[in-house]
Structures are given as structure tokens and as C-alpha cells.
């Protein structure tokens, strides 16, 4: 973060001047990506104050998730992409950086250093609004020169994830090129491109493709599945699928709620199945007094029967052909 200019040392001359705030931080490891992300906690209280209560969220510019997913498959050629480290690419004004200080201890515990963020960070109330507003502003500035790419950035991004569908391969290639250039001019990198069309993928530099396709022989091998806004998109045969990666929980009210809540279904494709699980949860709330008590035997039997069907979710595929 320091090498990339996202954080800077606090100068000794300013170490004790003005108002400051120190943020606790911790690391989160993503097992699938093999990466560690630093997360700052802007909701930690100190003397009855915390940073997030002093920040305003601003106007909600985030697009509807359902709307993006529906527009994603109105035309036959689909593509998705991602803005690399979106929040960290937007700078915080110098006079506000002292509210984003943090301490760093050397590995040998011999020295504690003070740093402060120069860029927006995950976890602060105001920063999603700032980043989304800036992205829309960028699109507006380019709307007359590149209307299609500007509309894509404005309407079809959910924070840092972009999804689109177009009528032909040439349109897809042009859209990717124009959107990439608009973002690059503002020091934003569009990458992790995926598509259901091999010709579109061939037009994209290997380093800018999604990691699942970087080492792929596009002439011979099957296109892999891609996680898209929480949905499993099987690009080779263009279907939405579901996987069962749920953690095991005890047969209690808390455990049942946890399992039902883990199934992500923004388009309601699994509603007939999920409704059964929610009805079991409703019965458990009525007949079990405490959250961590085992539910009655009749509910346990119905719950185990419902859970036994979870593995069959991976056999469901929803064709996402254009309407």
C-alpha cells in the first residue's frame, strides 16, 4: 500500500498537530484468490465517538443489482469486468488524511510507525458514495465522445463490477476498448474480463482476462465458470448455476437461519426451494424458546430432509439466452 502510494508516513512535524483519528486494522485472507486484504475498522468506538458517525454516506448512486443482471442478458454477447482496487484509486484531500491514521509495528516488534491513508478505504461510510459518484462523473465527461461506453459505465456497474450484453462481436470489442480507455485516462484499470464468446476473449490481452481464462487454449478447451455478482455464470454453455459450499451448522434456530441466509439468489430463481427452508425456520422460531437450543424432533427431521437436497442445487442450470 505504501509502495503504491495508497498510504504515507506521518511527518514528524505534523505528528501532534490538529485533530487526528487512528484506525484499527486487520487482515482478511481470501482462500480462492490467495490474497490478503487490509481492512480498516471505522466503526470502533473511542470516548463515545467513532469515525463512521462523523461521515455522511451521500446520495445513493449504486445501480440496482437486479437491473444490472437483467440487462446483462438482453443480448447474445455477454461480458464482465472489474475495476482494479477501485476505492484505493480515489485520493483523499490532504487536510482529511489525518483522520485516516494507523499504526504499524515492525515484524521484530522493535518500532511502531505512524502512517495515514492517502486513498479511500473499505469500511468507511462515505467512501462507496464518493467512488461511485466519481465513476459516474468520469462517464459523463466522455458521454459525447463515447456514448455506448459511457452508458455502460453509468448504468451497468455495481460498485466495481461491470456487466454488459451487446448484439455482436464487433460491438463487444469496441465497448471493451472504449471503456478501458476512458478508465485508463483516469488511472483506473479495467481487467478480469470474461465473455461467453471466444472471439471477444481473443481480442483481450491475456493479462487483462479473468484469471480462469489466462492459461486457457481458447481454440480447444472449455470455457470455465465465472463468479459474477455472486452468481455462478457457466460461460461455455451460457447458464447460471448454483454451488453448495455451505458450512455445517447445528440444528438450532441460529443454525437454520445461518444456512438459509447463505444461499445467495438475487433473481429469485430458487424461491420455490428456499421458501421451504424459510417455512422450517418460521416453525423453529415458534416452537424453540432459545436461539441455541436444539429444535424439536419433527422440525429436525424436516430440516435434515431439506438440507439433503442442497447438493442437488449444483445440477440446476438456468439458460440465460437473450429474450
What is the domain partition of the chain in residue ranges? 7-241, 253-319
Helix, strand and coil in the chain, % to nearest 5: 35, 20, 40
Q: Mean pLDDT across the stretch 233-247?
A: 85
Edge-to-edge strand list for the sheet holding 161-166? 157-158, 161-166, 77-83, 190-195
Residue 38: per-residue pLDDT: 87
Three-state DSSP at 198 gives helix
Pure H helices in the chain: 51-54, 65-72, 127-141, 147-155, 169-184, 198-202, 211-214, 253-262, 271-287, 297-307
Q: How far is CA 70 from the centre of its chain?
A: 18
Residue 195: per-residue pLDDT: 94
Sign of CA dihedral 257, 263, 269, 273: negative
**Is 263 a residue whose pLDDT tops 80?**
yes
Residue 133 in grid coordinates:
459518484
Write down the mean pLDDT value for the chain.
89
Q: How far apart are CA 246 and CA 243, in angstroms?
A: 9
**Is 13 a residue whose pLDDT tops 60?**
no
Sign of CA dihedral 107, 110, 114, 118: negative
pLDDT tens digits along 136-160: 999 999 999 999 999 999 999 998 9
Q: Are 254 and 245 in contact (CB under 8 A)?
A: no
Q: How far apart are CA 223 and CA 217, in angstroms?
A: 9
Quick one: which of 40, 38, 60 has its CA closest to 50? 40
Residue 117: per-residue pLDDT: 94
Q: How far is CA 317 from the centre of its chain?
A: 23
pTM, two decimal places:
0.85
> Which of the pair, 321 or 243, is modelled with greater confidence?
243
DSSP state of 192: E
Tell me what percent of the residues of the chain surpass a pLDDT of 90.
56
Position 237 confidence tier, pLDDT thresholds 50, 70, 90? confident
Q: How far apart are CA 278 and CA 262, in angstroms?
A: 12
Position 204 confidence tier, pLDDT thresholds 50, 70, 90? very high
pLDDT tens digits along 82-93: 999 888 889 999
Position 321 confidence tier, pLDDT thresholds 50, 70, 90? low
Instruction: List the beta bridge partners of residue 117.
Output: 7
239-241 and 317-319 strand pairing: antiparallel
Question: Could you give phi then psi for residue 142, rounded to 5 degrees?
Answer: -110, 10
Residue 152: per-residue pLDDT: 96
Instruction: List the beta bridge partners of residue 112.
Output: 105
**Is 183 a residue whose pLDDT tops 80?**
yes
Q: Are 169 and 160 in contact (CB under 8 A)?
A: no
Q: How far apart are CA 212 and CA 43, in angstroms?
A: 36
Amino acid at each position: 500500500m505504501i509502495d503504491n502510494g495508497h498510504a504515507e508516513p506521518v511527518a514528524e512535524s505534523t505528528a501532534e498537530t490538529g485533530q487526528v483519528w487512528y484506525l484499527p486494522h486487520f487482515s482478511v485472507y481470501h482462500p480462492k484468490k490467495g490474497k490478503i486484504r487490509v481492512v480498516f475498522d471505522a466503526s470502533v468506538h473511542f470516548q463515545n465517538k467513532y469515525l463512521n458517525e462523523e461521515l455522511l454516506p451521500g446520495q445513493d448512486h449504486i445501480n440496482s443489482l437486479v437491473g444490472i443482471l437483467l440487462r446483462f442478458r438482453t443480448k447474445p454477447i455477454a461480458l464482465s469486468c472489474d475495476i482494479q482496487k477501485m476505492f484505493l484509486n480515489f485520493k483523499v484531500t490532504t487536510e482529511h488524511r489525518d483522520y485516516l491514521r494507523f499504526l504499524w509495528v515492525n515484524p521484530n516488534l522493535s518500532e511502531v510507525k505512524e502512517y495515514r491513508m492517502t486513498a479511500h478505504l473499505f469500511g468507511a461510510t462515505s467512501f462507496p458514495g464518493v467512488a461511485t459518484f466519481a465513476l459516474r462523473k468520469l462517464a459523463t465527461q466522455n458521454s459525447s465522445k463515447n456514448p455506448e461506453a459511457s452508458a455502460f459505465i453509468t448504468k451497468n456497474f455495481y460498485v466495481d463490477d461491470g456487466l454488459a450484453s451487446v448484439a455482436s462481436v464487433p460491438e463487444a470489442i469496441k465497448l471493451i476498448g472504449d471503456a478501458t480507455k476512458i478508465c485508463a485516462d483516469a488511472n483506473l484499470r479495467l481487467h478480469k474480463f470474461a465473455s461467453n464468446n471466444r472471439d471477444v476473449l481473443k481480442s483481450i490481452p491475456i493479462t487483462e482476462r479473468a484469471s480462469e481464462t489466462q492459461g486457457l487454449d481458447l481454440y480447444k478447451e472449455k470455457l470455465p465458470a465465472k463468479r459474477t455478482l455472486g452468481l455462478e455464470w457457466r460461460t461455455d454453455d451460457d447458464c447460471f448455476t448454483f454451488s453448495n459450499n455451505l458450512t455445517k451448522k447445528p440444528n438450532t434456530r441460529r443454525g437454520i437461519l445461518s444456512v438459509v441466509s447463505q444461499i445467495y439468489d438475487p433473481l429469485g430463481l430458487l424461491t420455490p426451494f428456499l421458501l421451504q427452508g424459510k417455512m422450517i425456520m418460521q416453525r423453529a422460531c415458534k416452537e424453540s424458546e432459545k436461539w441455541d437450543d436444539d429444535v424439536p424432533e419433527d422440525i429436525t427431521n424436516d430440516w435434515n430432509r431439506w438440507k439433503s437436497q442442497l447438493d442437488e442445487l449444483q445440477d440446476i442450470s438456468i439458460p440465460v439466452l437473450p429474450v
